[in-house]
Amino acid sequence: MTHSIYALLVGIDHYAPDSVIQVNQLQGCVNDITAMKEYLNERSDKEKYKLNLLTLKNEQATRHAVIDGFRNHLCQARNNDVVMFYYSGHGSQELAPEEFRHLEPDRLNETLVCYDSRTEGGWGLADKELAQLIAEVSEKKPHICIILDSCHSGSGTRDPLQETGVRLTSIDKRNRPLNSYLPELQQQIKNSLTYSSLKDHPSGWKILTGSHVLLAACRDSEVAKEINGNGKQRGAFSYCLLETLKQAKGNISYQYLFREAKSLVNNQVTLQSPQLEVNYSEAEDQIFLKGTIAERSHYFTVSYSQEHHNWVIDGGGVHGVQSPSGDEKTLLALFPSNSNVEDLHDPSQSLGEAAVTLVLPAISYIKVLDPDKKKTFKAVIISLPLPPLAVYLEGEEDGVKLARQAMESAGLNNHNQSSAYVREEEELAKAHFRLLCRKNQYLIVRPQDDHPLVAQIDGYTQDNAQKAIQRLEHIARWSAIAQLGGSGNGVIKEGDIEMELIFGDQDLSPEETRLEYKLREDGTKEPSTVQIKLTNKSDKLLYCSLLLLTDLFAVEVPFNGMEAGYIQLSPKGEPYISEEGILTLPDELPEKITEYNNTIKLIVSTAEFDARLLTQNKLDAPKDAKGGVDRGVINQNSLNRLMNKVQNREWKKAKLQNYQDWITKQVTITTVRLLDTKSVSNADSQNLGSGVRLQPHPSLKAKARLTTVPQASRSLEKVILPPILREDPQVTQPFQFTISRGTDPGLSVLELTDVENPEVVTKTHPLRLLTDIPLGEGEHLLPIAYDGEFYLPLGYGTTIEDENGNAQTEIKLERLSTPYSGDRDVVGSIWMCFVKVIGEKLGRKFDGYHLRAVKVAEDQTVTPVENIKDQVKNANRILLYVHGILGDTKDMVKSVQRAKVSVDGQESPLNDLYDLVLTFDYENINTDIPEIARILKKKLEDVDLTVNHGKVLHIVAHSMGGLVSRWFIEREGGNQVVQHLVMLGTPNAGSPWPTVQDLATVALGIGLNSLSTVAWPVKVLGGLASGLEAVDVTLDQMKPSSPFLRTLAASPDPGIPYSVIAGNTSIKRAAMEEEGGKASRLKRLIQKLGTQVVEFPFFGQPNDIAVKVDSIQSIPEGRMIPPNIQEVACDHLTYFVESSESLKYLSKYLIQKK
């Protein structure tokens, strides 16, 4: 009986142009699913399985089409059929509705971003919906495989100059209604779905229903990247997965596929760890797609194709045949069509060699000189192409010029020839590496990020340029070995040889290859050990060798018994078991490097070979002769010749004595050496390493050390940073205590262990750290910790000078979270991550108070305009922005483009109503409000905006800026200057917050934990982080019934119109409700923050977080012109953001006064 394969392949590079939320375009997703489609078409066993393919690309892949693909296509699968869902595109997160709050502690759904997901009324495919669809497909019990090459969160560790081609787009902050989800999900959501931890699903895709195997591109805290694969943009994970599948000549297990693909990914990109997840036992050992891939012959058939007018072989890209690159080509040995298996290994029986000239999916062109086009031949692969790796040179011209010259003269034996190992590539997308020339330094990085692979080289000199190219050549040779695959002939199958890893006494899952140093009883650390067990399960005599590829780009053959470069394994005979090897971090690495990768690569051949031909020393070590290698055997067979060519591209070929078949396997192991902990002292500072010093604390009992984001995320079983801090690398960036290199993620987390009394850390007695890394202009430092329930802001950082006048950063922790661990059986730690927030400094000292003229372009770019006095003279209609106590006018002025007005039936930006836009920025902490108002008056007078100026002047004021504007209008004669005042969130009757720091702390807590009803843009964090630094600054003048407010309320009627916009939507209803007899989430959060907070009843009344609605609306009664008053659904920080409801009324009131 023939069974069926049902595959739904979705690839999206280009998203809907009318998306209301910007989605970055990708380049490799359609290539990914095209490659999988070709693989399934050519490699599936058509005698046993009928292939049913549905492919959705770009605009075809709407949310509706993907759902239909599941229900109308995949749901046809029955018992013993096979289902594949393959998605390549953007992943993201979205705000979860209140009905999901018991499922998502962070209040976010993970989503696949369909083509129309970000259009008006369009939504992503949430993880819960994906689970529902998979449950429907699984009802008839087919075998289900899910492949997701996307990501949905990321660690927040991106530099704005880093990651290109990352498959992660911004969080969808729209409020998604419950009725937009699948109807079946709506009915069962409260009863049938339960929360699942990151420990069970490290990829973050919590698909709990339907028996399936999930292969995901990365962990929850990482991002999925794109690379150049064989000249095309591809997902790193998809490319490595398909390369593993193509190299296999038959069926392979999921576990083998995963390990091979993961190791290849580790050697191609940094900080991306693919994941294998299953929800039923024995799934890992199952055969990929349940054995639907047809076995291939161990040779290719050569014939002349009348259709293609060329000689071809019956193997192409999907069979692992490698494309030519320049002069480097796949070589075949040709044999008569009646040759037997033994003949195919004997060069004396060969009719000659042929080179592959073009690789198509199912066939390849070759160059054959035989004129008889009716003949057929058999062919085996005897050599693989080893093209030079492409390097993109960028940066400062002096450095680039020297590097280019060094590359062009790096020939092995002729310095007038170019390098044989690397070449310059002019397109970044096609490069394998980048050589960055920045700040008089050479840095070697991969195309996807700016993560240095090795230490920088200082100075642009000829010698240093040559050293940089020599390093690139060394890395190129290492990369060629890491990517070296099998011969492609298929004599040896994946199942013929079994490689097992034995990790001492550590109990690891089959897919986990992360080993930590063990702590001995005497307090010292002991590195982990590994043994390799090789078992020949075939009926063939096999020759094997194990290579160790290190993070320092060394290649070694360190295993016992392989002194001759290989071992021999008899058919189904005794296995080989290596001696215990120690996985340690090299002594020459600095202590700050805590993670180190080793790749163990197995080569299995049908004939003797010498793997020592591949060995090389670590980077920058002196190159020596390959001791022990018998040069006489180098050309005895095809594998030896290829291996020698890896290290010596100019080796002259000699006649081969043997053709052989070979395969490779590999696994990458990460060794973790955590730093030692230091006890917090009450008298002395403790050096935590990397220039970080923990200052004494009078009573805290705890131990401290620096660690990494991956380590913290694994221990927390949660992404260490909240979503808003992972959203925009232009605004939030990690604060790294070390500059990482290679595969090491760098130290950016402070871990406190054995914490006995976290409550003793307070504002009065903060815990302080000093680091030699200073903050830049406009940067604020935000320490964050997760306590199992909330992300908590713990304090702030400021720049100070040491005794020598050098800038350093002091971090003050004014509170600690309670210790937490994702594992309930483990005593918890406190994990603190530090984030730089880019924003203007609250209360910064100006060289003067600034009245500026600006232009705001359609793309919301703000540029200053010179000669403000002339600009005012030539303008008739002028709009002035005045900011509040948090922030400045830089972002709020963009509302002149965001707010829309309708004039004569045509919609246009508010900007079109005015000839000139002005902004007033001022010191807003240490100067009283009347004085600021008088300064504003003087600034306007300086540009001839005085009494009876004969123009139209409207003011838009936020928060405290409204009080400044009212004082100017009502007490300083401004009613003869201004024709209309619009106030948004102004505390006309005061605000109950005692200090700026208290307001900023609680507001941050609300934003970090997504408790606000309206989603915040990440840019609001700049003002809030600045507010944390405003220590002891009170809001005396804005306290209810303050003398200032009483005087203002008694002012005479100004006689000009006021419009008041009051946000009445601050905290989610569910956060205000008690839960099972416990206090509400908001109250618990405020208690943990320990602020001098306002009375809780404040949050029981309509407010915008900072101010109550009735205070905003409190304009004295009886005015000649009654004020316009409007409540809107926003809070104090979102009056001016894109699509805010307040902008509609801002436009309405201003156009009324046109």
Give the CATH number, domain containing residue 901.
3.40.50.1820
Nearest Cα to Cα of residue 700 among 600, 830, 836: 830
pTM of the full structure: 0.82
The last residue of a domain, from among 239, 268, 291:
291
Residues recorded for the chain: 1154
Total H helices, total E strands in the chain: 22, 56
DSSP 167: S
Cα distances from 975 to residues 147, 379, 849, 1061, in angstroms, run 66, 93, 22, 20
DSSP 168: B
Cα distances from 50 to residues 36, 45, 714, 876, in angstroms, run 16, 8, 42, 75
Please list the residues that pair with 302 across neighbouring strands.
313, 377
Question: How many other C-beta atoms lie within 10 A of the C-beta of residue 906?
Answer: 8
CB within 8 A of 100, min separation 6: which ones? Answer: 107, 109, 128, 189
The last residue of a domain, from among 367, 383, 399:
383
Cβ 731 vs Cβ 838: under 8 Å = yes
- Is residue 42 a part of any domain in this protein? yes
Do 821 and 702 share a structural domain? yes
What total of structural domains would you count in the chain? 6
Please list the residues that pair with 10 across neighbouring strands.
56, 87
Specify the 3-state DSSP secondary structure of 1014. coil
Cα 387 to chain centroid, rounded: 30
Cβ 963 vs Cβ 955: under 8 Å = no
d(CA 730, CA 777): 14
d(CA 1016, CA 837): 15
Do 542 and 456 share a structural domain? no
d(CA 1080, CA 1012): 14
CATH number for 15: 3.40.50.1460
Do 275 and 204 share a structural domain? yes
Q: How many CA atoms lie within 13 A of 206 on its CB side?
A: 17
CB within 8 A of 835, min separation 6: which ones? Answer: 156, 721, 725, 732, 733, 734, 735, 781, 782, 783, 784
Do 575 and 623 share a structural domain? yes
- Is residue 1010 a part of any domain in this protein? no
- Is residue 166 a part of any domain in this protein? yes
Rounded to a whole number of angstroms, the CA Rg of the chain reads 33
- Is residue 1095 a part of any domain in this protein? no
CB within 8 A of 766, min separation 6: which ones? Answer: 795, 812, 813, 814
d(CA 1067, CA 800): 37
CATH number for 429: 3.40.50
- Is residue 996 a part of any domain in this protein? no
Do 273 and 394 share a structural domain? no
- Is residue 1029 a part of any domain in this protein? no
Please list the residues that pair with 838 across neighbouring strands.
779
Q: Where are the alpha helices (DSSP H) in 703-862?
A: 709-716
Do 569 and 611 share a structural domain? yes
Read off the tokens for 921.
């920025």
* Weakly modelled stretches of the chain, pLDDT under 70: 1, 100-107, 152-165, 187-210, 280-284, 412-415, 505-512, 621-636, 649-656, 716-719, 822-827, 839-848, 1030-1034, 1091-1099, 1153-1154
Do 637 and 524 share a structural domain? yes
Specify the 3-state DSSP secondary structure of 69. helix
**With 0-12 CB in 10 A as exposed, 13-18 as middle and 19+ as buried, what is 1024?**
buried
Do 25 and 43 share a structural domain? yes
- Strands 49-57 and 3-11, by their bridges, are parallel
Do 281 and 404 share a structural domain? no
pLDDT of 713: 75
pLDDT of 841: 46
d(CA 900, CA 945): 27
d(CA 605, CA 923): 75
3-state secondary structure 130-161: HHHHHHHHHHHCCEEEEEEECCCCCCCCCCCC
Specify the 3-state DSSP secondary structure of 1063. strand
- Strands 528-536 and 581-583, by their bridges, are antiparallel
Please list the residues that pair with 663 across neighbouring strands.
604
d(CA 588, CA 669): 19
Read off the tokens for 646.
């890896």
- Is residue 79 a part of any domain in this protein? yes
The last residue of a domain, from among 258, 291, 324:
291
Do 252 and 220 share a structural domain? yes
- Is residue 1035 a part of any domain in this protein? no
Do 520 and 665 share a structural domain? yes
Read off the tokens for 1082.
């908001």
Residue 614: domain span: 494-671
Cβ 626 vs Cβ 615: under 8 Å = yes
621-642 pLDDT, tens per residue?
A: 665 544 455 544 455 678 888 8
Do 859 and 774 share a structural domain? no
Cα distances from 763 to residues 99, 285, 947, 998, 1092, in angstroms, run 37, 55, 49, 11, 11
